[in-house]
Amino acid sequence: MSPVGRFSLVLHTHLPWVAHNGTWPVGEEWLHQAFTGSWRRVLRVLEGLAEHGFSDVVTLGVTPVLAAMLDDPYCLAEIHSWAGRWQLRAEELAARPGFEALAEHERREAVACLEDLQRRWLTGGLSAVLRPLAEAGVLELLSGPATHPFQPLLTERFAAAQLATGLAEARLRFGSRPGGIWAPECGYAPGMEDFYAAHGVTHFLVDGPAVRGDTGLARPVGDSDVLAFARDLDISYRVWSSRTGYPGDGSYRDFHTFDHASGFRPARVTGGAVPSEAKRPWDRRLAAAAVLRDARDFVAAVVRRLTELRDRHGREALVVAAFDTELFGHWWYEGPQFLDAVLRMLPQAGVRLSTLRGAAEAGLVADRIELPTSSWGAGKDWRVWDNDAVAELNDEIAHVQKRLFSLLDSRPEHAGRSAAADQLVREAFLLSSSDWAFMVTRDSAAGYARQRARQHAERFAALADAIESGVGADALAAELRAVDGPFGRLDARTC
């Protein structure tokens, strides 16, 4: 029987560089929680599917800056320490009446995480875990610019340096360079397809409104052969929506309610208007039943959508559902179980799982399209990263780009590699992360974002001054490298 169509799950895995830059309540704790609560659990789901013969299952975007952290011995050791404290907290909770079941669940999860870390993560990092899944064809990896900048607001030369560094990092860590990228924030400006083509990029993501909702097939952009895949909002928002998405169901574990003495979340959502103190205890059996119910509902919606698209186009079509990976496990505790259920149910319902690369190879491509300026942020335009609240930050990034290339271009033509110049590029990259503007605009840990941006700007300025004066640049670069040290093979001569 011919499949009703194809389904592509695209997961975007990212955090800004947080190593050595704050711990709690923001900073390295983000990395520890996202790894233990989400990323490791999602990868275990994919490994379980691989063991049952699944292939071409998911398209996984991993930003180069995150890959650098999850290959970094310091970051992995800190995650291991955090997981050890997780186990201790669970054992302490077991002594409190009424918390025995939760304590035992958390203890088991912590022990499993520690064993996994000790068995493979501490010795091989993310590269050793992901490469076998990619080589076996279970997943397609997407890369992107080094520190996840909002590309449309950058100069082309700086954007090129970011992208080239990111793609080189992916080749180094995963053995081959991905053809596709997750365009940071799905940010697009007309003409970027030619920029991508020049860097060997074959496909990228945009949000549904960029193609006016016609998301059922990939589209070549402009006069290029670069394909744009668009997120199906109707399907994605069944999970993603903060108002109507599945994670808000009363049976699921409530993200916002804490037992502050232990740091664990003991309650279920119960109801949207129910105050934290009145929420009912989390019940794993109720949550498991809700997972199966919602997975069936999601699969039925995908089948309806694909049937509609097949009737409209007269051919097999595609549904692309794209999410931040952290939604599954961190924000929505039961999310990994939901993914596992959906990915097993879809083939049984006549839907073929497919990576974006697999969909392109199968010819699920429509006519050419001219894309408008767009993003996947609020308003589907650039307002989150380009507004009055972040105007000063954007001015600083523009100034740093100008000064960076002025300094690099002033070096003798045949000068050798310079650790100071490399670190100058590194600080400029870290300053331009799109996370800082997002956090300021959304007022989400805005103080930390402003502090981090200011620190990188100050570190850049101090190092640039040292390079220009010829005094102390190498020593300062070594000091900064110990704090801001991703992308070891970054070479300023190529920028």
Together in a domain, 361 and 419:
no
40, part of any domain? yes
**For residues 214-237, average pLDDT:** 97
List beta partners, residue 141.
60
Provide the pLDDT confidence category of residue 71 given band limits of 50, 70 and 90: very high
Q: Which residue is catalytic, options 214, 234, 259, 324?
A: 324
Residue that terminates a domain, selected from 346, 378, 410:
378
Does the pLDDT of residue 248 top 80, yes or no?
yes
358, part of any domain? yes
Instruction: Give yes or no: 185 in active site.
Output: yes
The label of the residue with tokens 């000790």 reads 118
Together in a domain, 469 and 447:
yes
| pLDDT tens sequence across 123-180 | 999 999 999 999 999 999 999 999 999 999 999 999 999 999 999 999 999 999 999 9
Domain extent for 188: 5-143+178-378
Instruction: Give yes or no: 193 in active site.
Output: no
Together in a domain, 372 and 402:
no
Q: Which residue is catalytic, options 185, 232, 435, 484?
A: 185
Together in a domain, 343 and 401:
no
**For residues 390-403, average pLDDT:** 98
Does the pLDDT of residue 3 top 90, yes or no?
no
173, part of any domain? no
Together in a domain, 187 and 278:
yes
| pLDDT tens sequence across 337-353 | 999 999 999 999 999 99
CATH number for the domain spanning 468: value is 1.20.1430.10
Contact 390, 399 (CB under 8 A): no
Contact 441, 389 (CB under 8 A): yes
151, part of any domain? no
Together in a domain, 274 and 333:
yes
94, part of any domain? yes
150, part of any domain? no
What was the pLDDT predicted at 1? 59
* b/e sequence 31-44, b meaning 16+ C-beta within 10 Å: bbbbbbbbbbbbbb
What was the pLDDT predicted at 477? 98
**For residues 423-428, average pLDDT:** 98
170, part of any domain? no
Number of separate domains in the chain? 2
Together in a domain, 317 and 401:
no
Together in a domain, 341 and 410:
no
Together in a domain, 344 and 444:
no
pLDDT-above-90 percentage for the chain: 97
Residue that terminates a domain, selected from 338, 360, 378:
378
44, part of any domain? yes
CATH number for the domain spanning 308: value is 3.20.110.10
Together in a domain, 285 and 258:
yes
Residue that terminates a domain, selected from 354, 378, 402:
378
- Other beta carbons within 10 angstroms of residue 25's beta carbon come to 9
- pTM of the predicted structure, to 2 decimals: 0.96
**pLDDT, averaged across the chain:** 96
Does the pLDDT of residue 412 top 90, yes or no?
no
Q: How would DSSP label each residue in 134-190?
A: HHTTSEEEEB--TT-B-GGGS-HHHHHHHHHHHHHHHHHHHSS--SEE--GGG-B-T
Together in a domain, 354 and 401:
no
Phi-psi category of residue 186: left, alpha or beta, with phi > 0 → left and psi -120 to 50 → alpha = left
| pLDDT tens sequence across 17-50 | 999 999 988 999 999 999 999 999 999 999 999 9
Does the pLDDT of residue 59 top 90, yes or no?
yes
Together in a domain, 404 and 430:
yes
